[in-house]
Structure 1
Amino acid sequence: MTVLNAELTARFAPTGRLRASINVGNPILARLDEAGTAVGVSVDLAFAFAAGLGLPLELRVFKSAGESVAAVLEGQADFGFFAIDPIRGEHLAFTEPYVLIEGCYLVRDDSQLHDNGEVDQVGVRVVVGKGSAYDLHLTRELKAATIIRSPTSPTVVDTFVAESAEVAAGVKQQLEFDAGRLPGLRLLPGRFMEIRQAMGVPHTYGKDAAEQLRQFIERAKACGFIADALGRHGIVGATVAS
């Protein structure tokens, strides 16, 4: 167990409980089981971190990355699990990444698009999950294509179909799942981005708090905790960051 001084403990858990922001909109990291309970790699990490600090844990569960980030920034949670992004980095101190995930494009079988480099053109509408890492990334990178924002990442493909859009963008595994449940869809080869998932804490919590989080993630990677969690939850396609 990591023993914190009273000042750092108060900063990490100002309410007396360590509050973790969990995004169940990314099934690679967390999801709701049949009982409606959040489970997944990020949940396992949250419990392990709290146990290591000797603090009780409270899960704050959200359906989208945007809501999960906002919860930490607005003081509803003390830390969370987010894709590293420079805009988020203005307010959050990130650990090094612990999991790497591919961001990919999905189109219809009869689409004239066959390469990631063809997506950014006038007349192409790209559906993304509002506030997600790939929303932030594509908002910066796409110059000609139009972005349509779906409420959450899991609803991207349904929005893509409903809007008759040209492209859906998201986590590879989610798009593969949707392509399996809906006929006539295919993924473009390769990826348009590598999503680097990390833990984050507000800069206002101080450098000591950020360093505690960083050390925890490095230990979790080194001892095989994250690899074991990925296997235990049946996650394929995501890799442990070196």
Structure 2
Amino acid sequence: MSDISQSVINDLAPTGRLRSTINLGNTVLAQKDPAGNLRGVSVDLARALGERLGLEVELVPFDTAGKAFDALQSGACDIGFLAIDPKRAEELDYSAPYVIIEGTYLVPADSPFGMIDDLDRDGVRIAAGRNTAYDLHLSRVLKHAQLAHYPSSAAAIDAALAGETDAAAGVRQPLAAAAARGQGFRVIGGNFLLIQQAMTLPKNRPAGHEFIRTFIEEMKRSGFIADALARSGQSAAIAAPPA
């Protein structure tokens, strides 16, 4: 830690511990194994950053991105892993993306919808986890369809599977897993959003911001991110290219 400035430490770990949000609502980024241990690319990155800084890491799991955002906003956590979004960027600074994932729809197999744009029509109800990246995006771009907000991404998927809505919006991988579990559902081809996942921290921490930007670029170049995705069974996700 001797070659790391005190201003970086103060920005990233003002309490002396690196407190990191872990969003279990996005299974591409983080999971909990049967023994209750946290794993996934965001977990590995938080631990690697703590090792680089020479600091203890406190992993703080949340079941939704909205709760993780709130923890960063309130100062309960120091860094986190969230999708880049203009609304969140009013409060947070980001690294460049480290993973890129697709936002798409889960629909019944006999649904008339064949393409992404087919769903934006009057009378269509789309379930979405409240304050997820795709919920924020669709709230801005949908002209006709109505969003039905649920407490989490998992709850939105369950609502669509139960027939409460015409579709569920979400990340492709969990939607595909739900379609494989359930009877008579499919995932729409293509995407309405390429979701750029990044490391983030509250605004006005310039030394810390520059440090995590450099750190994420090193992790991408070294293959760390691709390896971490593979270790957690998420090799279908795309490691972002260098910025």
Q: Same fold (TM over 0.5)?
A: yes
Give the structure 1 partner of residue 127 of structure 2: 127
Q: Distance in 2 between matches of 1:107 and 1:17?
A: 44
Task: Point out 4+ residue stretches in structure 1 off by more than 3 angstroms.
Answer: none
Listed as ranges, the matches of 1:37-186 within 5 Å are 37-162=37-162, 164-186=164-186
Structure 2, unaligned runs of 5 or more:
none
Whole-Å separation in 1 of the counterparts to 2:163 and 2:66: 22
1 CA distance for matches of 2:111 and 2:235? 28
Structure 1, residues 200-230: CA drift from partner, whole Å, max 9, x if none? 01113x2111000000000000011101111
Distance 1:72 1:9 in 2: 17
Query: CA 1:92–1:2 in 2, change beyond 3 Å: closer, same or farther?
Result: farther
C-alpha RMSD of the superposition? 1.2
Question: Contact (CA 8 Å) 2:81, 2:197: kept in 1 or not?
Answer: yes
Q: How far does residue 184 in structure 1 lie from its aligned partner after superposition?
A: 0.6
Q: Percent identity?
A: 45
Instruction: Give the direction of change, closer, same or farther, for the CA distance of 1:91–1:2 in structure 2 (3 Å limit).
Output: farther
- Amino acid in the other structure paired with 2:223: G
Query: What amino acid does structure 1 have at the position aligned with 2:220?
Result: K
Compared CA separation, residues 74 and 211, structure 1 to 2 (3 A)? same
Tell me by how many angstroms 1:157 deviates. Answer: 1.4
Cα distance in 2 for residues equivalent to 1:106 and 1:33 = 25
CA distance in 2, matches of 1:226, 1:147: 33
Distance 1:2 1:233 in 2: 32
Show the counterpart of 2:8.
8
Quote the offset at 1:163 in angstroms: 5.1
**Contact 2:226/2:235 (CA < 8 Å) preserved in 1?**
no
Distance 2:63 2:111 in 1: 30
Following the alignment from structure 2 to structure 1, what is the Cα–Cα distance between the partners of residues 129 and 29?
Answer: 16
Please say if 1:225 is aligned against 2:213.
no
Deviations 1:147-186 (A, max 9, x none): 0112111222112233521111100000000001110101
Contact 2:128 2:170 in 1 (8 A): yes
> Per the alignment, in what secondary structure is the counterpart of residue 59 of structure 2?
strand
| 1:109-131: CA deviation from partner (whole Å, max 9, x where unpaired) | 12121111111111000101111
Tell me, yes or no, if the aligned pair for 1:2 and 1:52 is still in contact at 8 Å: no
**Equivalence for 2:235:** 236
Larger mean CA deviation between 144-153 and 74-83 belongs to 144-153
The structural deviation recorded for 1:136 is 0.5
SS, match of residue 60 in structure 1: strand
Would the aligned equivalents of 1:20 and 1:58 in 2 still touch at CA under 8 Å? yes
Q: Given that residues 156 and 168 in structure 2 are in contact (C-alpha distance below 8 angstroms), is that contact kept between their aligned partners in structure 1?
A: yes
- The CA distance in 1 between the partners of 2:73 and 2:223, in whole Å, is 30
> Distance in 1 between the 2:65 and 2:46 partners?
16
Q: Tell me how many residue pairs correspond in the alignment.
A: 241
Who is 2:214 aligned against? Answer: 215
**Could you tell me whether the CA contact under 8 Å between 1:2 and 1:53 is conserved in 2?**
no
Per mean C-alpha deviation after superposition, the further-off stretch among 56-65 and 148-157 is 148-157
* Alignment partners' CA distance in 1, 2:173 and 2:2: 35
**In structure 2, how many angstroms separate the alpha carbons of the residues matched to 1:160 and 1:22?**
26
Ranges in structure 1 where 5+ consecutive residues have no aligned partner: none
